[in-house]
Amino acid sequence: MHRTTSFTSLRQWLPTQYLWPVMLLIGTCLGSLVLIVAVTTRAQDKLQLAREQHSVEQAVQNTVEMAIHDLQDYAKWDDAVRHISQKLDTEWIADNVVAYLAGTQGYSHVLVLDGSDNVVFARVPGGAIKEAATLVAAREFRREVANVRAMPVTGNPIVGGYVRLGSKVYIYTVAQIVPVTEKVRLPERSTHLLAIARPIDSDFLRSLADNQQVQQLSLVLEPVRAGSQVALGGVGGKTQAWLTWKPSTPGAELSRGILPLFLIVGVLTLAVGALIVRLGAGTIKALQSSETHARHLALHDALTGLPNRRALMQHIESLAADSADLTLLWHDLDGFKDVNDLYGHAAGDAVLRQVEERLSAALPCVFVARVGGDEFVAVLNAPSVEDIHHATGAVLGAFAASFLVGTYQIRLGVSIGCAGLGGSSLSPSELMRRADAAMYAAKSQGKGCWRVFEASMDHVHHLRVTMEKDLGEAIATGGIEVVYQPIVDAGSNKIVAVEALSRWTHPVHGTVSPDVFIPLAEQVGMIDALGRHVLREACRASAALPIQLSINLSPAQFWDQNLVRDISMILEEAHFPSERLEVEITESYLLRQPQAAAEILEQLRGTGVTVALDDFGTGFASIGYLRQLPLDRLKIDKQFIKPLESGGRGLDLVCAISALAASLGLEITAEGVETEEQAAMARLAGCSQLQGWLFGRPMAMSDLVDLLETTATSPARQVA
Ligand code: C2E
Ligand code: CA
Ligand code: CA
């Protein structure tokens, strides 16, 4: 249990993928080390055994040789022949032979045998002659005696070895007693023998073990099955007994000694290895996480956290590879540009984040990516027609409520383009292009709706893309013309002012409505350049005319810090008195940024320029706002003028507006006056100026000059 726990914690500490290789590596290292030590120590033990074997063998051999050497001096001796062989003198033997061999050299048995092998002298422990007789009677000994007797007396007739008597084993030496010189002669009959022996007893074994440095040396009568032993040979090399001992094992001892060391080294190695891997894993982990972070950044939009265009492409590609039937819903926000223009980019960002939340809630479990400023794409996997209806309905519904940013309630719409693979093998980029084209179709068909891609949409989409490019060129090269629509005094019907309006004649597509290219110029950031061009051109063209000039200012232009300065500079350059210029602004900007708008308008009015509120009635301007703003004029939108001729409440409405304007000290211009009735009603309602086709359409400056000359005497509408 404990083992499992610690192993688990080790696995937690060390990532699993590194745990096994590290353990294997360390295990292999330690295993190899142990093997090397085992082999080395075993070899050492073997060597030691051989050494001990050799030294015990040598000792066994030396002992016999020593005994032979000890006896030889006494057996090959003239005096010994005299006192033993010629006449047995036991006293002499005791004094001269036994004293040294038994006393000094420690032989337990000193025997003298006559020519018939009778023991004629015995010095044995306790003087027991019987024991001496037993030795002499032993077959092995007798055979040795026979051997020694057969040896020539002139040589060294002496033999030695080991003999077993019962459970005892003796080392013995037996020699013929022979003279050294010729002064002494051996008796006729066979000669006497001198023998010495000593038992292999515990004292002997102890001293041998001490000398040879072996442990637990003992005598055994049967060979041991395995291990260390040396045979004790007798006559003819026949083994009488064995010496055995406990072999020393320095290798094993060494390995026993270093085993704990191994354990410590092993544990340390494991710890160090684990630490290295841990550090390495940490580094790898850090690299991995920074790589993951970088990959996340590369594939996600920082503002909303949604996948970006690249991630969308990858997603589509992977689904298409699985031959999934995809449908893309391309969402583009309606009016988002105004949010940025009117409330600033921080508010725009906040709105985008809320859009992300609403889309995610409306399309749960659907892959949604942000692919542009205000463009979001949802990927539906093999949807049915009902699924598409349900998804688009949910998204449109999600935009029903206004977005709350700070204290602002912001209304936004969304246009959705829908394109699917439908079993075809379209490339992801083509699928996206189609969904985009369908979205533009939805936009141009009223916004706040969804459209499914059709082949005819390609043409419209293509037109828009090329126009964007061409418009830039037109603005830069003066390709935008300015036309002038007369504005007449309601009382005299004389032209007192003109409104400058832009015109663009596309080289291929012909006349493009300002309702199309002005929003386009706003969207692509060209409205400032366009506005300056129109003002410069209009001032230059109308400078010499005795009339007022009105120009339109886009809400987007209000964000230009240099607006007032630029207008003043252009007026100066054109020597155009600022009092003759009126700027027309729409309600939207004033409504949303009343404070900022008021400041800019004050600055403008400070230069002498007057300000008109254009398209009045189409927005939501309240009386409160109108009172706060530094305005000079209201231009009532043509939608209020049109119903005037049919009587009814139309007149009441214009009268009410007029009364309101009068109370605020503002002049009123009626726009879109097309008929005499409308003009009469507008006049009746208190409008001081009238503008519309009844008095003149927007026209070239040359035409206007002609018209002014014509109407110098007669009112404009009579010649329009
Ligand atoms: P707006 O400022 O309200 O301009 C008046 C629009 O009403 C003009 O449309 C004009 O042709 C049209 N109009 C005038 N009298 C009548 C009439 O009796 N009946 C009808 N049905 N329409 C009449 P236009 O020229 O197409 O301009 C459309 C809008 O484009 C303008 O509306 C203005 O908001 C914008 N615009 C035009 N030129 C410029 C420009 O140079 N700068 C800016 N910022 N906006 C411009
Ligand atoms: Ca206008
Ligand atoms: Ca207008």
DSSP readout, 587-635? Answer: HHHHHH-HHHHHHHHHHHHHTT-EEEEEEETSS---HHHHHHS--SEEE
CA angle 74, 76, 81 (to 5 degrees): 85
Confidence of residue 4 (pLDDT cuts 50, 70, 90): very low
Per-residue pLDDT at 716: 59
CATH 3.40.50.2300 fits 309-454, yes or no: no
As to burial, measured by CB atoms within 10 angstroms (0-12 exposed, 13-18 middle, 19+ buried), residue 205 is: middle
Confidence of residue 17 (pLDDT cuts 50, 70, 90): low
Q: How many CA atoms lie within 13 A of 354 on its CB side?
A: 20
**Beta carbon of 85 within 6 Å of any ligand 1 atom:** no
In CATH terms, the fold of domain 63-246 is Beta-Lactamase (3.30.450)
Q: What is the Cα gyration radius of the chain? A: 65
Confidence of residue 127 (pLDDT cuts 50, 70, 90): low
**Residue closest by Cα to atom 10 of ligand 1:** 698
Longest dimension (CA), the chain: 198
- Beta-bridged to residue 704, according to DSSP, are none
Residues measured by CB to lie within 5 Å of ligand 3, the ion: 614-615, 671
Amino acid making up residue 96: N
Q: Measure CA 687 to chain center.
A: 72
Q: How many CA atoms lie within 13 A of 141 on its CB side?
A: 25
Q: What's the average model confidence in pLDDT over 566-575? A: 95
707 pLDDT above the threshold of 90? yes
**530-542 confidence digits (pLDDT tens):** 999 999 999 999 9
3-state secondary structure of 567: helix
**380-414 confidence digits (pLDDT tens):** 998 999 999 999 999 999 998 999 998 888 888 99
CA angle 493, 669, 655 (to 5 degrees): 105
Per-residue pLDDT at 60: 84
**Beta carbon of 566 within 6 Å of any ligand 1 atom:** no
The pairing of beta strand 450-452 with beta strand 413-420: parallel
**Beta carbon of 70 within 6 Å of any ligand 1 atom:** no
Mutate to test the pocket of ligand 1, among 552, 637, 638 (most ligand atoms within 8 A of CB): 552
CA atoms of 528 and 520, how far apart (whole Å): 12
In CATH terms, the fold of domain 474-713 is TIM Barrel (3.20.20)
Hey, where are the domains in the chain? 2-50+251-298, 63-246, 309-454, 474-713
Residue pair 589/628 in contact (Cβ under 8 Å)? The answer is no
Per-residue pLDDT at 1: 40
612 pLDDT above the threshold of 70? yes
688 pLDDT above the threshold of 70? yes
How many whole angstroms from 614 Cα to the centroid of ligand 2? 6
Q: Is this structure's pTM higher than 0.85?
A: no
Mean pLDDT rounded to a whole number for the chain: 86
3-state secondary structure of 100: helix
Per-residue pLDDT at 720: 42
**Beta carbon of 518 within 6 Å of any ligand 1 atom:** yes
**347-388 confidence digits (pLDDT tens):** 999 999 999 999 999 999 999 999 989 999 999 998 999 999
How many whole angstroms from 101 Cα to the centroid of ligand 1? 152
CA atoms of 461 and 416, how far apart (whole Å): 14
